[in-house]
Structure 1
Amino acid sequence: MTTLINDPRVGAVPVPPTSAVGPLRTVHPAAIAANVRRVTVRGHDLIAVVKADGYGHGAATVATTALAAGATALGTATLPEALALRAAGIDARVLCWLHLPGADFTTAARERVEVAVGDRATLVAVAEAGRRSGTAVVVHLHVDTGMAREGAEPHRWQALLDAAGAAERAGYVVVRAVMGHVPNADRASASRAATLLRLAGLAADLTLGHPVELHLGGTPAAFAGADLTGIAVRVGAALVGIGPGHAGLVAAMTVTAPVVAVRSVRAGTPVGYDGTWTAPRDAVLAVLPVGYADGVPRAASGSAQVRLRGHLVPVVGRINMDQVVLDVTGVPGPEVVRGEVVTLLGAPGPTAADWATWADTNAHEIITGLGGRIERAVDTTTSRSSA
């Protein structure tokens, strides 16, 4: 644990720990729980999407936290991701929707993993798995509500419904839901997707002879302000704090790294590959042991900032594979020393949105790209919860 000394100029200043602590991403379950409440307070049933290892936060951690906070089911992209949740001891409903060639739907049936079906070929494979295993596979029929990437096109929808009805009557599948996706983060897009989904659900009711659930993804669906009465939402990014500014979401991860080297340089000294930054004056530089191999985007070179002792300091020169150089000249307090902890990501900043701006990408890519040598820990306190 980092200790503090009191310096009359700046107050409490961190003292380097006696044991080595490397780059670390700390996940805050209390923030995830608060974000779940932000979604469900709007009246939505929530399918918590924990694909891509819970958006880099740990799929099992995000899943168990979301379920405890009110999510009704879980979602993953692939079957292996769903099976990993089962291996972690999670017994809740799990849906997956991105099926690799040769996907093992027999295992899906055995492990009670629900699968999305958006075309007849997939339905045939799923029904065959149900026939062989003797266990009906729970399916969610996927309709294209404006993404043009997955889900049945409108002119193929009725044929898929007819085939699903036949497979259900044969006992090979059970059709539980109809699902779609919101293509744009605005009310009009969400409203149109909801209308298409309701029409598809009505057709399914008539064809199958029983009601089906309806659900839309993703985070924009939950916060666009459209009428989603009777429609559950699949949300992933919002669980970990990524969403529209008005949503009041809480960042669920802090990324830190220790200073591993400090040096003083003369004005005019070039820094890093190709000398893209040159010290405009005598400067003090600090080096962090992270780089683009760990998910720190190289495209943010020349614009990124990190936080040291509560102050934002610039990243200078090119972000390397393994190292980041900071200009810490003038940071208040005693000299910066090896072992001091720098915050790359986390409240009050920099945020994933900041990094996305600096790297000309989105916040999703920032948090899912973290990894490599950045260890992960879970914060067991409740201090980040908000209502």
Structure 2
Amino acid sequence: MTCEAFPSDCQATLTIDLDRIITNYRTCRSLAGGTDCAAMVKADAYGMGIEQVAPALYNKAGCRNFFVANLAEAIKLRRHVPDAIIYVLNGVFPGHVPYFIQHRIRPVLNDLDQIQLWAAVTAADRPACAIHFDSGINRLGLSPQETGAFIGDTTLQACLNIALIMSHLACSDAPEHPLNLTQLQNFTAITRHFPGIPASLANSGGILLGPDYHFDLARPGLMMFGGNPSPRPLPDGIQAAYHISGKVLQLRDLRIGETVGYGATWTAERPSRIAIINVGYADGYLQVFNNCGQTAYKGHMLPIVGRVSMDMIAVDITDLEVTEISPGDDVELLGEHITLEMASEVSTLSQYEILTGVKERYQRVYK
């Protein structure tokens, strides 16, 4: 007998709720006071699958603007949203121009070299572009010196079809940080030199900073998938759009003094019962969760004990009734009970790292 497929229950499962992503996107627009919102779908739509997420946002939520990190992501995205506006945050480089033209992709131009390269392209062939100004994060974007030079070079500006000017906030996850206001003032001053051109500053956290930060286009990412970009409570209407579960492989009984896993880092201080789950650091569940992670099963919180290994974790189920859990049962690792905020707090990983760290080995289920 030839088996071309494999049984669905042999992997851990990542369930993505597309309806919730759509609802979260609409909530972001509402939180932004009706300002148009692009969708940040870099890193495979934050690990949720760009080939499923982007068409859902385009067809069901009316999203028309998408941002990705690099050209490879943009070309993949174009196959799934053929009529959308796609921006590449890393910009354009020598040798890449024909691909931008062929796939109708817009570069986010981050320095004067990229601007000169794009301005040299025949205008009839060239898609529109965005200009990225560094307002204080000191990452990508025109430096203050380059900004002054570009503002003063109206001839160079006239060579470009500028569809958007943008900047990026460094501290939007810390609402009281003074750099937020500094960046807002810097970017507002820049926008005065480009009347009539849409402007964009706010990411997910920036949306929550208030209307002064919204401008013409907001760029939600984390919040669209149910993460919280702020230390304040998650806004109403934003829900987790993912559920990660692993399967129980085996149950084991331990005597007092016996240890679990590599390095023997956890020792049973009472007669204990543990469950072995089929998820490990090869699935993106990293060793920062050693002896501190949490899982959930039917409302019960079950702690990780011992080290996370490549393919397995152990959880303490001593307080469950023996008949409550069996091999083959699903245990939640991330979702309604184990939120991104909780996982981030115990692990010191950011919510972004946890969500985008989801690996391909999961069985993906879309609903």
Q: Is TM > 0.5 for Structure 1 vs Structure 2? A: yes
The aligned counterpart of 2:356 is: 368
Matches of 2:204 and 2:210 in 1, distance apart? Answer: 11
Contact persistence 2:112–2:146 (CA under 8 A): no
Equivalent residue runs for 1:29-48 within 5 Å: 29-42=18-31, 43=33, 44-48=35-39
Contact persistence 2:8–2:363 (CA under 8 A): no
Contact persistence 2:135–2:167 (CA under 8 A): yes
Q: How many angstroms does 1:101 deviate by?
A: 5.1
CA distance change for structure 1 residues 327 and 99 in 2, over 3 Å: closer, same or farther? same
Matches of 2:260 and 2:71 in 1, distance apart? Answer: 46
The aligned counterpart of 1:136 is: 126
Identity %: 26
Q: How many angstroms does 1:91 deviate by?
A: 1.9
Q: How many angstroms does 1:221 deviate by?
A: 1.0
1:263 paired to 2:248: no
The aligned counterpart of 1:91 is: 83
Deviation track 1:63-120 (CA, whole Å, cap 9, x = no partner) reads 2233332434111111111111112244211111114754612211221111111211
Equivalent residue runs for 1:277-292 within 5 Å: 277-292=266-281
The aligned counterpart of 1:154 is: 144
| RMSD of aligned alpha carbons | 2.1
Question: When the two structures are superposed, what TM-score results if normalisation uses the length of structure 2?
Answer: 0.89
Question: When the two structures are superposed, what TM-score results if normalisation uses the length of structure 1?
Answer: 0.85
Q: How many angstroms does 1:212 deviate by?
A: 0.8
1:58 paired to 2:40: no
The aligned counterpart of 2:3 is: none
Equivalent residue runs for 1:351-366 within 5 Å: 351-366=339-354
Amino acid at match of 2:55: T
Equivalent residue runs for 1:173-252 within 5 Å: 173-185=160-172, 186=175, 189-205=179-195, 211-228=196-213, 230-243=215-228, 244=230, 245-248=233-236, 249-252=238-241
Contact persistence 1:191–1:226 (CA under 8 A): no
Q: How many angstroms does 1:240 deviate by?
A: 0.3
Q: Which structure 1 residue ranges, 5 or more long, are not aligned?
A: 1-17, 206-210, 380-387
The aligned counterpart of 1:113 is: 105
1:350 paired to 2:346: no
Contact persistence 2:54–2:81 (CA under 8 A): no
Matches of 2:181 and 2:38 in 1, distance apart? Answer: 19
**Higher strand share goes to which structure?**
1
Deviation track 1:144-180 (CA, whole Å, cap 9, x = no partner) reads 11110111122221322455x535645xx31111100
Matches of 2:97 and 2:85 in 1, distance apart? Answer: 16
Deviation track 1:192-249 (CA, whole Å, cap 9, x = no partner) reads 33332232122134xxxxx211011411111112513643211111110112324232
The aligned counterpart of 1:308 is: 297
Amino acid at match of 1:150: L
Q: How many angstroms does 1:189 deviate by?
A: 4.2
Matches of 1:127 and 1:342 in 2, distance apart? Answer: 54
Matches of 2:284 and 2:273 in 1, distance apart? Answer: 25
